Amino acid sequence: MTVNMRRWMVLLSGTLLLTACNSQELTRDKARKLINASSEIAPAKSAWIIDYNRLQCGVNKGLWRLGLTFLTPTDAAKGSIAAIERVSETGYKVVLAKPMKRELIAVTGITDAPSAFGPHAKLVSYNWRWLTETFKNDYPDSVVQCMGTLPSETIEAHALMKLYDDGWRVETITPLQCLQYPELGCAR
């Protein structure tokens, strides 16, 4: 093989390698990494909308005091409850001190998003679940009892991703658990 031929081979190999590394294709692995880094899977905080029974449980266990129009966390809730906010006449949002952990199980499909989202948009379907044992381990029994239990089944969700000049980004995530379990993380 001549010297010129070797130079062309090295140049061609380098060009092919750079092209492959800079692929704009959205793979399942790439989508999984982006979703795992998003605030839906790794939230900075978690909140529950509590109903009357959970409200009374917290009062009875000394987790919060009920005022005329507000709830106040007590010392017994320190380290567990970050804040309590009124969201309606009868509902309160309890913001937990530590986020409830979730696990992305699998990216189940990637398809082109509807044209209304632009030419470089993908809809990614995936399955995830709550890590129920970490919730039970992270909080005292009184908090777990009053807040209820996390569902253990797999939940389906969808992420809209768009391609920008610096790569793919998660635009929005539609967690279907909001329809199934509105008290689990939909009110942030």
For the four alpha carbons of 105, 106, 112 and 114, in that order, the dihedral sign comes to negative
Distance between CA atoms of 94 and 96, rounded to whole angstroms?
6
**What is the reported pTM?**
0.66
What band does 120 get if pLDDT is binned at 50, 70 and 90?
very high
Contacts of residue 101, defined as CB under 8 A and 6 or more positions apart, other chains included, come to 130, 131, 134, 135
pLDDT digits (tens, 9 = 90+) for 7-51: 655 555 544 444 444 568 999 999 999 998 887 777 767 888 888
Alpha helix positions (H), 112-176: 132-138, 141-147
Give me the residue spans of the domains in the chain: 24-180
pLDDT digits (tens, 9 = 90+) for 122-152: 999 999 888 888 888 888 999 988 887 777 7
168 or 176, which is more confident: 168
